[in-house]
Amino acid sequence: MGLARSWLYAPGHRPDLVRKALEGPADAVVVDLEDAVPPAQKEQARDAVVAICDTAADRVWVRINASGTKWADGDAAALSGSPPAGVRVPKAEDPATVAALAERTGLPLQLLIESARGLRRVFELAECHPLVAGVSPGEADLAADLRIRDRRELAWARARIVTANRAAGLPSPVASVWTDLSDTAGLAEDSAALRDAGFFGRSVIHPSQIAPVHRAFTPDRDEVQRARALLDALDVAGDSSTWVDDRGRFVDPAVVAGARWVAELADTLRDLPDDHDEPAGARPGRSNP
Protein backbone atom coordinates (compact mmCIF):
# COMPACT_ATOMS: atom_id res chain seq x y z
CA MET A 1 0.00 0.00 0.00
CA GLY A 2 2.98 2.32 0.44
CA LEU A 3 2.86 5.38 2.68
CA ALA A 4 -0.66 6.31 3.73
CA ARG A 5 -1.42 9.88 4.78
CA SER A 6 -5.10 9.30 5.54
CA TRP A 7 -6.78 6.33 7.20
CA LEU A 8 -10.54 6.74 6.85
CA TYR A 9 -12.72 4.84 9.31
CA ALA A 10 -15.95 3.29 8.02
CA PRO A 11 -18.41 1.27 10.15
CA GLY A 12 -18.39 -2.42 9.30
CA HIS A 13 -22.16 -2.82 9.53
CA ARG A 14 -22.66 -0.16 6.82
CA PRO A 15 -21.36 -1.66 3.53
CA ASP A 16 -22.73 1.37 1.69
CA LEU A 17 -20.43 3.70 3.63
CA VAL A 18 -17.50 1.33 3.18
CA ARG A 19 -18.03 1.36 -0.59
CA LYS A 20 -18.15 5.17 -0.60
CA ALA A 21 -14.94 5.26 1.42
CA LEU A 22 -13.21 2.94 -1.04
CA GLU A 23 -14.35 5.11 -3.96
CA GLY A 24 -12.96 8.26 -2.33
CA PRO A 25 -9.49 9.80 -2.05
CA ALA A 26 -8.38 8.22 1.25
CA ASP A 27 -5.05 6.44 1.02
CA ALA A 28 -6.35 3.63 3.25
CA VAL A 29 -9.75 2.60 4.60
CA VAL A 30 -10.17 1.14 8.09
CA VAL A 31 -13.35 -0.91 8.33
CA ASP A 32 -14.36 -0.83 11.96
CA LEU A 33 -15.71 -3.81 13.86
CA GLU A 34 -15.19 -2.19 17.25
CA ASP A 35 -16.53 1.12 18.57
CA ALA A 36 -18.59 2.12 15.51
CA VAL A 37 -20.64 -1.10 15.49
CA PRO A 38 -23.49 -1.71 17.98
CA PRO A 39 -23.19 -5.02 19.86
CA ALA A 40 -26.31 -6.43 18.20
CA GLN A 41 -24.76 -5.93 14.76
CA LYS A 42 -21.25 -7.29 15.37
CA GLU A 43 -21.89 -10.57 13.54
CA GLN A 44 -23.49 -8.80 10.58
CA ALA A 45 -20.54 -6.41 10.39
CA ARG A 46 -18.04 -9.26 10.45
CA ASP A 47 -19.80 -11.00 7.54
CA ALA A 48 -19.82 -7.74 5.59
CA VAL A 49 -16.11 -7.23 6.21
CA VAL A 50 -15.32 -10.71 4.91
CA ALA A 51 -17.18 -9.90 1.69
CA ILE A 52 -15.33 -6.60 1.36
CA CYS A 53 -11.94 -8.23 1.91
CA ASP A 54 -12.69 -10.70 -0.86
CA THR A 55 -12.94 -7.82 -3.37
CA ALA A 56 -10.85 -4.87 -2.11
CA ALA A 57 -8.31 -6.22 0.36
CA ASP A 58 -5.36 -4.16 -0.84
CA ARG A 59 -6.66 -0.85 0.62
CA VAL A 60 -8.65 -2.24 3.53
CA TRP A 61 -7.48 -2.54 7.10
CA VAL A 62 -9.86 -3.87 9.73
CA ARG A 63 -10.09 -2.71 13.32
CA ILE A 64 -11.12 -5.78 15.25
CA ASN A 65 -12.68 -5.99 18.69
CA ALA A 66 -10.32 -5.89 21.64
CA SER A 67 -8.80 -8.99 23.16
CA GLY A 68 -10.97 -10.36 25.94
CA THR A 69 -14.27 -9.37 24.34
CA LYS A 70 -16.65 -12.09 23.17
CA TRP A 71 -16.12 -11.06 19.54
CA ALA A 72 -12.31 -11.07 19.40
CA ASP A 73 -11.78 -14.76 18.54
CA GLY A 74 -14.44 -14.69 15.83
CA ASP A 75 -12.89 -11.59 14.27
CA ALA A 76 -9.46 -13.20 14.12
CA ALA A 77 -10.82 -16.41 12.63
CA ALA A 78 -12.81 -14.58 9.96
CA LEU A 79 -9.88 -12.43 8.85
CA SER A 80 -7.56 -15.41 8.70
CA GLY A 81 -9.80 -16.84 5.98
CA SER A 82 -10.41 -13.56 4.12
CA PRO A 83 -7.34 -11.45 4.81
CA PRO A 84 -7.34 -7.65 4.51
CA ALA A 85 -4.17 -5.59 4.03
CA GLY A 86 -3.76 -5.56 7.79
CA VAL A 87 -5.42 -5.43 11.19
CA ARG A 88 -5.77 -2.60 13.65
CA VAL A 89 -5.59 -3.96 17.18
CA PRO A 90 -7.36 -1.79 19.77
CA LYS A 91 -6.31 -1.53 23.42
CA ALA A 92 -3.01 -3.34 22.87
CA GLU A 93 -1.44 -4.04 26.26
CA ASP A 94 0.11 -7.51 26.36
CA PRO A 95 2.96 -8.46 23.99
CA ALA A 96 2.21 -12.19 24.28
CA THR A 97 -1.42 -11.66 23.26
CA VAL A 98 -0.34 -9.55 20.28
CA ALA A 99 2.22 -12.14 19.21
CA ALA A 100 -0.41 -14.89 19.40
CA LEU A 101 -2.76 -12.83 17.22
CA ALA A 102 0.00 -12.30 14.68
CA GLU A 103 0.67 -16.04 14.53
CA ARG A 104 -3.02 -16.81 14.17
CA THR A 105 -3.81 -14.32 11.40
CA GLY A 106 -0.48 -14.05 9.61
CA LEU A 107 -1.35 -10.40 8.92
CA PRO A 108 0.41 -7.09 9.57
CA LEU A 109 -0.78 -5.58 12.83
CA GLN A 110 -1.10 -1.91 13.67
CA LEU A 111 -1.39 -1.63 17.43
CA LEU A 112 -3.39 1.08 19.19
CA ILE A 113 -2.15 2.30 22.56
CA GLU A 114 -5.25 3.31 24.53
CA SER A 115 -4.33 2.77 28.17
CA ALA A 116 -1.63 3.42 30.73
CA ARG A 117 -0.77 -0.29 30.68
CA GLY A 118 -0.26 -0.22 26.93
CA LEU A 119 1.84 2.94 27.13
CA ARG A 120 4.03 1.40 29.83
CA ARG A 121 4.80 -1.60 27.59
CA VAL A 122 4.87 0.19 24.24
CA PHE A 123 8.54 -0.65 23.58
CA GLU A 124 7.88 -4.36 24.17
CA LEU A 125 4.75 -4.22 22.02
CA ALA A 126 6.60 -2.63 19.12
CA GLU A 127 9.13 -5.48 19.08
CA CYS A 128 6.99 -8.45 20.12
CA HIS A 129 6.54 -9.94 16.62
CA PRO A 130 7.85 -9.29 13.08
CA LEU A 131 4.28 -8.73 11.86
CA VAL A 132 3.83 -5.67 14.07
CA ALA A 133 3.74 -2.95 11.41
CA GLY A 134 3.33 0.03 13.70
CA VAL A 135 2.14 1.33 17.05
CA SER A 136 -0.11 4.39 17.25
CA PRO A 137 -2.07 6.23 19.93
CA GLY A 138 -5.81 5.99 20.39
CA GLU A 139 -5.98 9.32 22.13
CA ALA A 140 -9.58 9.51 23.32
CA ASP A 141 -9.28 6.30 25.34
CA LEU A 142 -5.70 7.03 26.36
CA ALA A 143 -6.56 10.49 27.67
CA ALA A 144 -9.53 9.08 29.57
CA ASP A 145 -7.43 6.35 31.17
CA LEU A 146 -4.71 8.84 32.14
CA ARG A 147 -7.38 11.32 33.34
CA ILE A 148 -5.97 13.97 31.03
CA ARG A 149 -8.47 16.70 30.18
CA ASP A 150 -6.33 18.68 27.73
CA ARG A 151 -4.88 16.58 24.92
CA ARG A 152 -1.89 18.88 24.66
CA GLU A 153 -0.76 17.13 27.84
CA LEU A 154 -0.37 13.93 25.80
CA ALA A 155 2.90 15.27 24.35
CA TRP A 156 5.02 12.96 26.48
CA ALA A 157 2.90 9.91 25.58
CA ARG A 158 3.11 10.80 21.89
CA ALA A 159 6.88 11.16 22.08
CA ARG A 160 7.17 7.79 23.81
CA ILE A 161 5.12 6.14 21.04
CA VAL A 162 7.18 7.82 18.31
CA THR A 163 10.38 6.66 19.99
CA ALA A 164 9.12 3.09 20.40
CA ASN A 165 8.34 2.84 16.70
CA ARG A 166 11.66 4.20 15.53
CA ALA A 167 13.65 2.16 18.06
CA ALA A 168 11.97 -0.98 16.70
CA GLY A 169 12.76 0.00 13.11
CA LEU A 170 9.10 0.75 12.35
CA PRO A 171 7.69 3.68 10.35
CA SER A 172 6.53 6.85 12.04
CA PRO A 173 3.24 6.28 13.88
CA VAL A 174 -0.16 7.32 12.55
CA ALA A 175 -1.76 10.23 14.40
CA SER A 176 -5.07 9.79 16.19
CA VAL A 177 -8.38 11.21 14.98
CA TRP A 178 -9.45 14.86 15.20
CA THR A 179 -12.98 14.71 16.50
CA ASP A 180 -14.25 18.25 15.81
CA LEU A 181 -15.61 18.03 12.27
CA SER A 182 -16.42 21.75 12.23
CA ASP A 183 -12.83 22.86 12.95
CA THR A 184 -10.94 22.26 9.70
CA ALA A 185 -8.34 24.91 10.53
CA GLY A 186 -7.62 23.22 13.85
CA LEU A 187 -7.25 19.86 12.10
CA ALA A 188 -4.77 21.33 9.62
CA GLU A 189 -2.69 23.06 12.28
CA ASP A 190 -2.69 20.05 14.60
CA SER A 191 -1.76 17.65 11.79
CA ALA A 192 1.17 19.83 10.73
CA ALA A 193 2.36 19.99 14.34
CA LEU A 194 2.11 16.21 14.65
CA ARG A 195 4.18 15.78 11.50
CA ASP A 196 6.80 18.01 13.13
CA ALA A 197 6.55 15.78 16.24
CA GLY A 198 7.40 12.59 14.35
CA PHE A 199 4.04 11.27 13.12
CA PHE A 200 3.15 10.44 9.54
CA GLY A 201 -0.45 10.18 8.40
CA ARG A 202 -3.63 10.47 10.40
CA SER A 203 -6.81 8.55 11.09
CA VAL A 204 -9.89 10.45 9.92
CA ILE A 205 -13.58 9.99 10.61
CA HIS A 206 -15.12 11.95 7.73
CA PRO A 207 -14.17 12.43 4.05
CA SER A 208 -14.02 16.22 4.59
CA GLN A 209 -10.92 15.68 6.75
CA ILE A 210 -8.91 13.95 4.03
CA ALA A 211 -7.73 16.99 2.05
CA PRO A 212 -6.29 18.97 4.99
CA VAL A 213 -4.60 15.84 6.31
CA HIS A 214 -3.07 15.11 2.90
CA ARG A 215 -1.76 18.68 2.68
CA ALA A 216 -0.21 18.47 6.14
CA PHE A 217 1.62 15.22 5.45
CA THR A 218 2.68 15.96 1.86
CA PRO A 219 5.93 17.94 1.54
CA ASP A 220 5.35 21.16 -0.37
CA ARG A 221 7.26 22.10 -3.51
CA ASP A 222 9.74 24.41 -1.77
CA GLU A 223 10.51 21.81 0.88
CA VAL A 224 11.21 19.20 -1.78
CA GLN A 225 13.39 21.57 -3.78
CA ARG A 226 15.44 22.44 -0.69
CA ALA A 227 15.90 18.77 0.12
CA ARG A 228 17.00 17.87 -3.40
CA ALA A 229 19.36 20.83 -3.61
CA LEU A 230 21.01 19.72 -0.39
CA LEU A 231 21.37 16.16 -1.68
CA ASP A 232 22.87 17.48 -4.92
CA ALA A 233 25.38 19.42 -2.81
CA LEU A 234 26.69 16.13 -1.46
CA ASP A 235 28.63 15.74 -4.70
CA VAL A 236 30.36 19.07 -4.05
CA ALA A 237 31.04 18.29 -0.40
CA GLY A 238 32.69 15.00 -1.30
CA ASP A 239 33.66 12.89 1.70
CA SER A 240 33.17 15.69 4.21
CA SER A 241 30.80 14.67 7.01
CA THR A 242 29.89 18.29 7.77
CA TRP A 243 29.92 21.47 5.74
CA VAL A 244 28.26 24.84 5.25
CA ASP A 245 26.18 25.03 2.08
CA ASP A 246 25.92 27.98 -0.32
CA ARG A 247 23.02 29.40 1.73
CA GLY A 248 25.07 29.45 4.90
CA ARG A 249 23.39 26.43 6.51
CA PHE A 250 25.40 23.99 8.60
CA VAL A 251 24.91 20.48 7.20
CA ASP A 252 25.69 17.23 8.99
CA PRO A 253 24.57 13.59 8.49
CA ALA A 254 21.35 14.18 10.46
CA VAL A 255 20.38 17.06 8.17
CA VAL A 256 21.17 14.90 5.14
CA ALA A 257 18.98 12.10 6.52
CA GLY A 258 16.10 14.54 6.90
CA ALA A 259 16.52 15.77 3.33
CA ARG A 260 16.68 12.22 2.02
CA TRP A 261 13.41 11.37 3.82
CA VAL A 262 11.65 14.36 2.25
CA ALA A 263 12.91 13.52 -1.24
CA GLU A 264 11.98 9.86 -0.94
CA LEU A 265 8.56 10.77 0.43
CA ALA A 266 7.90 13.10 -2.51
CA ASP A 267 8.99 10.40 -4.96
CA THR A 268 6.64 7.91 -3.31
CA LEU A 269 3.61 10.18 -3.20
CA ARG A 270 4.05 11.83 -6.62
CA ASP A 271 0.87 13.84 -6.24
CA LEU A 272 1.86 17.36 -5.30
CA PRO A 273 -1.00 19.54 -6.63
CA ASP A 274 -0.22 22.74 -8.53
CA ASP A 275 -1.78 24.93 -5.82
CA HIS A 276 0.02 23.23 -2.96
CA ASP A 277 2.30 25.74 -1.26
CA GLU A 278 2.93 25.32 2.47
CA PRO A 279 0.98 22.66 4.40
CA ALA A 280 -1.60 24.45 6.51
CA GLY A 281 -0.16 25.29 9.91
CA ALA A 282 3.33 24.05 9.08
CA ARG A 283 6.37 25.83 10.43
CA PRO A 284 8.70 26.84 7.56
CA GLY A 285 11.96 25.00 7.22
CA ARG A 286 10.96 22.01 9.33
CA SER A 287 10.98 18.43 8.14
CA ASN A 288 10.51 15.06 9.79
CA PRO A 289 13.35 12.59 9.16
Residue 116 has pLDDT above 50, yes or no: yes
CA torsion, ordered 74, 78, 81, 82, to nearest 10 deg:
-160
CB-based contacts of 146, cutoff 8 Å, min separation 6 = 116, 119, 154, 157
Domain boundaries, the chain: 6-217
At 74 the three-state DSSP class reads helix
pLDDT at position 50: 95
Q: What is residue 274's predicted lDDT score, i.e. its pLDDT?
A: 38
Q: Please tell me the pTM assigned to this model.
A: 0.87
pLDDT greater at residue 266 or residue 65: 65
State residue 229's pLDDT score: 85
Please, is 236 exposed, middle or buried when counting C-beta atoms within 10 Å of its C-beta (0-12, 13-18, 19+)? Answer: exposed
Average pLDDT over all residues of the chain:
90
Is 3.20.20.60 the CATH number for 6-217?
A: yes
Binding-site entries for substrate: 63, 114
- Closest C-alpha to 134, from 24, 7, 263: 7
Binding residue numbers? 63, 114, 141
Q: Region 124-146: what's the mean pLDDT? A: 98
Pairing of strands 250-251, 132-137: unpaired
Q: How confident is the model at residue 70 (pLDDT cuts 50, 70, 90)?
A: very high
CA distance 61 to 49: 10
Cβ-based neighbour number of residue 288 at 10 Å: 18
Residues tagged in the binding site annotation for Mg(2+): 114, 141
Query: Is 21 within 8 Å of 49 (Cβ atoms)?
Result: no
pLDDT digits (tens, 9 = 90+) for 37-59: 999 999 999 999 999 998 888 88
pLDDT of amino acid 177: 98
Supply φ then ψ for residue 99, to 5 degrees. Answer: -60, -40
The band of 253, judged by pLDDT with boundaries at 50, 70 and 90, is confident
Q: Which of 89, 122, 123, 124 is nearest to 108 (CA)?
A: 89
Name the pLDDT band for 237 (thresholds 50, 70, 90).
Answer: low
Mean pLDDT of 117-142: 99
